[in-house]
Amino acid sequence: MKKLLILLIFIAISVTIGCSSAKKEEAKTVDNAKEPTTIVFTPEVSENKIKDFSITEAIDSTSTNTITDEQALSAIRDYCHISNPDLADIEKVGEYPVYWEIASSDDKEIVVLFRSYTGAQVRYYINPVSGDTYVTEFVPGITQEEERTDDNFNLKDYISENDPSAENISSVPGTWATASMGYEYNGDVLPEYHVQFTDSEVIYGHMLDGEFVTDHTAKIILFENTASGRYRIQVESPNGGHYTYQTSEDNDNALEFYETWNESDFHSMYRAGASLWKID
């Protein structure tokens, strides 16, 4: 009996020593480390899967065809004219103020305001990615606040297959100058600014020794060529100000300056000194 007990104790000690030895073998020294280092193996990740995911993400990010402010403004104008064929004639008569403008814009929503000839303020809320649009209406003196209408549509259905920004924004030829005189150079009193136009910007600068030197720029939001050589240009300044250049009815070489986008306010927002004269 004693022999059997001793034998069992010996076997238990042997198993314990064996396990301890096995554990020590698992913790091996790596390179010149002073202490045993535990090596952890992780599952391999396929490079192909990573590459496929990146390609898919890139395709998704470029296929959204996000609507720009210019496209939204142009498409809403087209939508309104299609919905009301008489609108163009009402605009020409000019008896009632009619205009469109960007009320607000960010990555999630563009809001276009349409001031109807009836006095109603119609706002179009546009998702710039999907194009989904809903409409509200506010009639001063009749309704207390905006009321959502039953009008819902996708604005992308009204965007030209050609890029509207390229279609509606065009360069105004020549060099122009402000009516106001701003400084003296080499004995000459010169305009406050000389002005040139690109497809998307108004460039303000100065003519120095026959060279045009840029001072600052402003963004063209909407460009209309109302007739041959006659323009209406809505501009947004770097600080968010809105103004309009419009060809004078009396002189095709003059662009009258209005410190607003709203045609109904033109009579009070005309600024003669900031108006432009074509010099070249």
Looking at residue 191, which CATH number applies to its domain? 2.40.128
Instruction: Name the nearest CA neighbour of 209 among 236, 237, 227, 190.
Output: 190
Residue 30: CB partners within 8 Å, gap ≥ 6?
37, 39
Instruction: Among 117, 150, 165, identify where a domain stops.
Output: 165
Residue 107: exposure state from Cβ atoms within 10 A (0-12, 13-18, ≥19): exposed
Boundary of a domain, candidates 165, 181, 202: 165
Residue 1 falls within a domain, yes or no? no
Report if residue 8 sits inside a domain: no
Q: Residue 140 sits in which domain range?
A: 69-165
In a domain, 73, yes or no: yes
Task: With a cut of 50, list the residues of the chain below it in pLDDT.
Answer: 2, 4-5, 7-9, 11, 13, 15-28, 30, 37-63, 162-169
Q: List strand residue ranges (DSSP E) for 186-236, in order.
A: 188-191, 194-197, 201-208, 211-227, 230-236
> Do the domain assignments include residue 95?
yes
How many domains would you assign to the chain? Answer: 2
For residue 237, how many other CB atoms are within 10 A of its CB? 14
Domain boundary among 122, 138, 165: 165
User: Distance (Å, rounded) from C-alpha 213 to C-alpha 208?
Assistant: 7
Specify whether 183 is located in the same domain as 258: yes
- Asked if the structure places residue 257 within a domain, the reply is yes
Residue with tokens 């065809």: 65
**Residue 123, domain member (yes or no):** yes
Q: Please choose, from the candidates 208, 144, 149, 142, the residue with its C-alpha nearest in 3D space to the C-alpha of residue 175.
A: 208
The whole-number pLDDT of residue 154 equals 93
Measured distance CA(237)–CA(225) in Å, rounded: 21
Decide: 178 and 274 in contact? Cβ < 8 Å: yes
Residue 107: inside a domain? yes
How high is the pLDDT of residue 170? 52
- Residue 280: per-residue pLDDT: 83
Residue 4 is assigned to a structural domain of this protein: no
Whether residues 112 and 133 share a domain: the answer is: yes
